[in-house]
């Protein structure tokens, strides 16, 4: 729902499964140890923004935000997290936000935008091969995320529709995956926070390969009419600063035990401890987003539904900022 560089060590679980072990087998303990350097996330051969980008930055040592308790008190922390992706069991396409890929030779279209003054009005590589969240007749957020793989450009639209070859969308944004440049302040994107969607999507391919080395996009239902760096836009209903702003970042407590979680689920838990969650849009409380794909194991999805929202704290990312107009971090 919407509107109105240094590389650091990966934290890995101390008790790993033996070769050939199923992800449903359990580790004996969950001590985290620093053993390797985190790779820069890549999608279709393109890095998902530079290694020092906000989305790819380790926040495990940042201080708890002074408003953490206030924000969390207004965020339904009695709930469990909900993976907003995975099998749909026959009632439509699998849940999640699909990622389409295109070449630079792909025909371009110029969508008609509802919020044209805050959209990048240029050609978008949309066509019959473009996947839309929920399907073309879903009536939901209908995000389209397209990676132009040979130029490493990212195109994203919200409320994406096509009729007789004519494309419309609520808003659209174009990014260079090689750059830390942010959108103009107060501009939306395909997300209410004015941020890119792609770098915050959990992908089955990375969970399976390990590690997950970026923050994860999530939503909550009541937000303030404020945004904090690197978010550029807000769409909240509350003036009070006691409600979370767009761009707020939350971290799973380091003391949260991974006992009882399988290998794949523990990789997600480690990412939530190391990179955290980024509040990027209004929606159901504590729903976190991933790529639409048929590969997600149902057992993993069920494990991820057990993570308690009460195990998170908000962190202060302000010390990371290099410039108001850049997502680069110190």
Instruction: Provide the percentage of residues in the chain whose pLDDT is more than 90.
Output: 86
CB 121 within 8 A of CB 187: no
Domain boundaries, the chain: 9-92+192-320
Structure tokens at 237: 């209903």
In whole angstroms, give the CA distance from residue 109 to residue 126: 6
Residue 15 scores a pLDDT above 70: no
Q: What is the pLDDT of residue 38?
A: 80
β-strand 99-102 against 144-148: which pairing, if any? parallel
Phi, psi of 69 (to 5 degrees): -65, -40
Rounded mean pLDDT of 59-80? 98
- Do 295 and 102 form a contact (C-beta atoms < 8 A)? no
- Mean pLDDT score of the chain: 90
**CB distance 101 to 60 below 8 Å:** no
Tell me the two tokens of residue 63. Answer: 């201080």
What's the pLDDT tens digit per position in 180-220?
999 999 999 999 999 999 999 999 999 999 999 999 999 99
Entry pTM: 0.89
Determine the pLDDT at residue 238: 98
Helices (H), the chain: 68-73, 204-209, 263-274, 298-304
Report the Cα 330 to chain-centroid distance in Å.
Answer: 21
Nearest Cα to Cα of residue 219 among 281, 163, 268, 277: 281
pLDDT on residue 92: 83
With a cut of 50, say whether residue 46 has pLDDT above it: yes
Residue 22 CA neighbour count, 13 Å, CB half: 5
**E strands, 78-150, where?**
82-84, 99-102, 112-113, 144-148
Question: Does the pLDDT of residue 4 top 60, yes or no?
Answer: no
Q: What is the pLDDT of residues 279-293, one digit of tens each?
A: 999 999 999 999 999
For the segment 129-155, what is each residue's pLDDT rounded down to a tens digit? 999 999 998 989 999 999 999 999 999
pLDDT per residue as tens digits for the range 70-82: 999 999 999 999 9
- pLDDT score, position 90: 83
Under the banding of pLDDT at 50, 70 and 90, the label for residue 161 is very high
- Residue 62: half-sphere exposure toward Cβ, Cα within 13 Å: 26
């Amino acid at each position: 729902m919407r509107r109105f560089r240094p590389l650091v060590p990966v934290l890995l679980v101390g008790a790993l499964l033996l070769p050939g072990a199923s992800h449903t087998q359990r580790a004996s303990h969950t001590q985290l140890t620093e053993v390797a350097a985190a790779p820069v996330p890549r999608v279709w051969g393109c890095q998902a923004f530079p290694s020092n980008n906000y989305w790819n930055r380790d926040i495990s040592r940042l201080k708890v935000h002074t408003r953490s308790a206030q924000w969390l008190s207004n965020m339904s922390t009695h709930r469990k997290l909900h993976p907003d992706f995975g099998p749909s069991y026959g009632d439509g396409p699998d849940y999640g936000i699909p990622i389409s890929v295109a070449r630079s030779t792909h025909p371009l279209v110029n969508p008609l935008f509802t919020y044209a003054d805050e959209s990048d009005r240029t050609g978008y590589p949309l066509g019959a091969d473009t996947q839309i969240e929920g399907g073309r007749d879903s009536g939901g957020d209908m995000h389209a995320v397209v990676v132009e793989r040979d130029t490493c450009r990212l195109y994203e639209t919200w409320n994406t529709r096509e009729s007789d070859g004519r494309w419309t969308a609520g808003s659209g944004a174009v990014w260079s995956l090689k750059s830390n440049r942010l959108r103009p302040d107060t501009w939306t994107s395909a997300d209410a926070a004015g941020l890119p969607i792609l770098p915050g999507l959990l992908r089955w391919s990375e969970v399976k390969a390990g590690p997950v080395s970026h923050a994860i996009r999530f939503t909550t239902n009541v937000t303030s009419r404020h945004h904090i760096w690197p978010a550029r836009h807000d769409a909240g209903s509350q003036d009070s600063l006691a409600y979370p702003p767009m761009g707020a970042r939350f971290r799973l407590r380091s003391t949260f035990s991974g006992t009882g979680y399988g290998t794949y689920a523990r990789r997600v838990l480690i990412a939530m401890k190391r990179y955290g969650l980024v509040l990027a849009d209004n929606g159901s409380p504590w729903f976190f987003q991933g790529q639409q794909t048929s590969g997600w194991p149902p057992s993993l999805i069920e494990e991820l539904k057990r993570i308690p929202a009460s195990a998170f704290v908000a962190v202060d990312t302000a010390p990371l900022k290099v410039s108001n107009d850049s997502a680069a971090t110190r």
